[in-house]
């Protein structure tokens, strides 16, 4: 296939659009990581910036590429990378911006003292990138600023790219001490080609269940995009504080964190000899079911298995705690125990045991039980009483304990 692109292909919006999306999702990631007294801005001071609440700020320049090397991997950040040097150039101009009251050396140093500069990109880190290497050496104290200036001058002298020459000159125009402090506060965030996954991990850190992360991400992503659009439309800068996030989205996090339990139908196999289940024997004894009524016995068995299966799954997935499960069973037991005592408070004849058992069953099956603050469906509530009577820890006749093994 030819690598020669048409003019339309060269100017197509896709590669530009993904750059904007990368910038937005980096912004969203930082929003999701906000802590009290912090804020994040989109294209306010830089592509993205964060105010850390202690008079410190981080400026992020975002550079995304769709270019790949011969192996099909994302292109490396090279020593002469124009994106990197253009970023350095932009930061140099910000540092000495006279329109922002930074015409003096001291004003520039004061600005750098409270600012970190981060180049974030999906480009691959590259051990042969001399610029990344010598900045690291400066930060570790193994190189001096005069050595770095000499290296920059050599690169500027030897390149034939006029844009690169201009960018390097912008950086070298800074006072030597200012340049040193600037590079000491310059960092690289590379190999970051899956920024959406980072957003989802940030949502997960809010204790959102794994199976709800996708929905939570879609909801929050959509809401913040809509807010951004409206702010731009109104001419308002896009900047989100922790307090904004807490006010607008706390309820959404709560809904996904504490939202409704996802109830699954039971699709497993049925046990053999359904009529031999203890809870069925108890129901037969009071005349609620007949051994020949296989369809109804199957239906009640499915109620029990559906309840057990969902409880196991909710516990395994961390949607309910052991304490909540214990309380759920205890609530059902206490309802039964109270009604059992009411029904059997008087001495009754043998023939009345079954009638009292039916009254007891009718009474408890009217109850709607809650688990994790959620009222459960009727079949699950019934299944809970059937499950308890299958163990058995409850029964319907006064002599129900004879079913215990």
What is the predicted pLDDT for the residue at 15? 52
Find how far residue 288's CA is from the centre of its chain: 49
Could you tell me where the DSSP H helices lie in 234-321? 242-258, 278-285, 294-316
Q: Is the pLDDT of residue 13 over 50?
A: no
Longest dimension (CA), the chain: 110
Give the domain ranges of the chain. Answer: 7-256, 274-403
**How far apart are the C-alpha atoms of 395 and 167, rounded to whole Å?**
84
Read off the pLDDT band of 301 (50, 70, 90). very high
Which positions ≥6 away from 306 have C-beta within 8 Å?
264, 265, 266, 379, 380, 383
What is the predicted pLDDT for the residue at 234? 82
Which positions ≥6 away from 386 have C-beta within 8 Å?
279, 300, 303, 304, 307
**How far apart are the C-alpha atoms of 168 and 155, rounded to whole Å?**
8
**How far apart are the C-alpha atoms of 58 and 116, rounded to whole Å?**
5
| Average pLDDT of the residues in 306-311 | 96
pLDDT: which is higher, 207 or 133: 133
pLDDT digits 0-9 by tens, 24-49: 999 999 999 999 999 999 999 889 99
pLDDT digits 0-9 by tens, 66-103: 877 767 677 788 899 999 999 999 999 999 999 999 99
**How far apart are the C-alpha atoms of 215 and 70, rounded to whole Å?**
37
- With residue 32 as reference, give the H or E element that holds it: helix 14-32
pLDDT digits 0-9 by tens, 282-298: 999 999 999 899 999 99
pLDDT digits 0-9 by tens, 203-227: 999 888 888 899 889 989 998 988 8
Buried b (16+ CB within 10 A) or exposed e, 268-284: eeeeeeeeebbbbbbbe
What is the predicted pLDDT for the residue at 376? 94
> Closest Cα partner for 49 from 97, 98, 118?
118
Burial class (CB in 10 A: 0-12, 13-18, 19+), 196: middle
Read off the pLDDT band of 352 (50, 70, 90). confident
**How far apart are the C-alpha atoms of 61 and 45, rounded to whole Å?**
10
C-alpha dist (Å) from residue 122 to 21, 113, 214, 324, 379: 12, 28, 23, 44, 51
pLDDT: which is higher, 348 or 167: 167
Write the DSSP symbol of residue 255: H
Per-state percent for the chain, helix, strand, coil, to nearest 5: 60, 10, 35
pLDDT digits 0-9 by tens, 376-402: 999 999 999 999 999 999 999 999 999
Torsion region of 126: left, alpha or beta (phi above 0 gives left; psi -120 to 50 gives alpha): beta
Which positions ≥6 away from 90 have C-beta within 8 Å?
61
Burial class (CB in 10 A: 0-12, 13-18, 19+), 386: buried
């Amino acid at each position: 296939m030819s690598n020669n692109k048409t003019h339309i292909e060269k100017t197509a919006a896709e590669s530009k659009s993904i750059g904007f999306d990368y910038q937005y999702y980096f912004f969203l990631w930082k929003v999701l990581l906000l802590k009290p007294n912090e804020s994040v801005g989109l294209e306010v001071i830089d592509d993205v910036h964060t105010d850390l609440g202690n008079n410190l700020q981080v400026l992020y320049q975002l550079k995304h590429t769709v270019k790949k090397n011969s192996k099909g991997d994302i292109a490396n950040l090279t020593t002469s990378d124009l994106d990197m040097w253009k970023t350095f150039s932009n930061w140099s101009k910000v540092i000495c911006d006279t329109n922002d009251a930074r015409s003096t050396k001291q004003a520039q140093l004061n600005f750098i003292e409270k600012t970190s500069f981060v180049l974030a990109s999906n480009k691959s880190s590259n051990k042969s990138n001399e610029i990344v290497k010598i900045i690291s050496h400066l930060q570790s104290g193994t190189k001096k600023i005069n050595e770095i200036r000499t290296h920059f001058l050599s690169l500027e002298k030897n390149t034939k790219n006029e844009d690169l020459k201009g960018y390097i000159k912008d950086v070298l125009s800074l006072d030597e001490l200012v340049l040193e402090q600037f590079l000491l506060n310059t960092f690289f965030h590379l190999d970051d080609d899956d920024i959406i996954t980072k957003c989802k991990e940030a949502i997960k850190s809010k204790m959102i269940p794994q199976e709800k992360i996708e929905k939570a991400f879609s909801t929050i992503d959509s809401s913040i995009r809509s807010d951004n659009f409206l702010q731009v439309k109104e001419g308002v800068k896009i900047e989100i504080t922790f307090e904004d996030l807490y006010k607008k989205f706390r309820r959404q996090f709560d809904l996904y964190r504490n939202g409704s339990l996802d109830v699954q139908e039971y699709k497993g196999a049925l046990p053999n000899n359904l009529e031999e289940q203890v809870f069925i024997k108890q129901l037969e004894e009071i005349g609620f079911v007949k051994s020949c009524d296989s369809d109804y016995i199957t239906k009640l068995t499915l109620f029990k298995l559906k309840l057990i299966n969902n409880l196991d799954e909710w516990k395994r997935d961390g949607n309910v705690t052991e304490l909540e499960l214990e309380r759920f069973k205890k609530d059902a037991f206490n309802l039964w125990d109270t009604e059992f005592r009411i029904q059997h408070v008087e001495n009754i004849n043998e023939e009345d045991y079954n009638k009292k058992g039916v009254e007891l069953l009718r009474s408890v099956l009217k109850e709607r039980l809650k688990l994790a603050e959620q009222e459960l469906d009727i079949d699950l509530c019934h299944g809970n009483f059937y499950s308890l009577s299958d163990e058995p820890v409850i029964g319907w006749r006064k002599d129900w304990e004879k079913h215990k093994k």
